Amino acid sequence: MTVKVIGVVGQIGSGKDEVLKYLKANYGVPYISTGDIVRDIARSENIEATRENLAKISQRCFTELGKGCFIRRAAEEIAHRGWQTAGISGVRSHEDVEIMQDMFGRGFILIRVDISDPKIRFERVRLRHEERDPTTFSQFLEQDSNEENTFHISRTGEEADYVLNNDGSVEALHKQIDRLVTSAGLLG
């Protein structure tokens, strides 16, 4: 049986984790976040989990283990747990997509989550109250630019099989996910 892995790509604050949380809560799809892997490393090294520190850890791991190290680790964890359907939050680069396609073939599906206005993303980031998140809009735009320059997220997003627009309410996003499951056969 083919393992189905749903990867989610998008800019900071676009709603990537919300998509996977909804799939888990409503369809029983477990998921792994590459960001959680990096935060676990920070915790184990007693490093504060600021976005700057997490970026340094990521860069160190990329240098030591290669660019796709977190995606590879997440994919290996899915295989180790024997999940037949799972999600991965934190697909960022074209290399990440290639790794997933190599490991899962046609079983890998990429969903892009879009929000057209960066101010909406910033406000949603502020509402989640995580220490890694910026406190000003200019910091947010700088982090956004750094992620784009490092990972080329917009290029990766062009490879998506499906696109969800998250400009509206969380309920509107959930309805789009339900349509993917029922009409597009996302989980079938």
Identify whether the C-beta of residue 147 lies closer than 8 Å to the C-beta of residue 95.
no
pLDDT-based confidence at 130, cuts 50/70/90? confident
Please give the model's pTM, rounded to 2 decimal places.
Answer: 0.90
What percentage of the chain has pLDDT greater than the value 70?
A: 99
The predicted-structure confidence for 38-71, as pLDDT tens digits, reads as follows 999 999 999 998 878 988 999 899 999 988 899 9
Which two three-digit tokens encode residue 182? Answer: 């029922």
The predicted-structure confidence for 67-108, as pLDDT tens digits, reads as follows 889 999 999 999 899 999 999 998 999 999 999 999 999 999
Q: Is 169 left (phi over 0), alpha (psi -120 to 50) or beta?
A: beta
The residue with tokens 């990329």 is: 62
Return the CATH number of the domain spanning residue range 4-182. Answer: 3.40.50.300
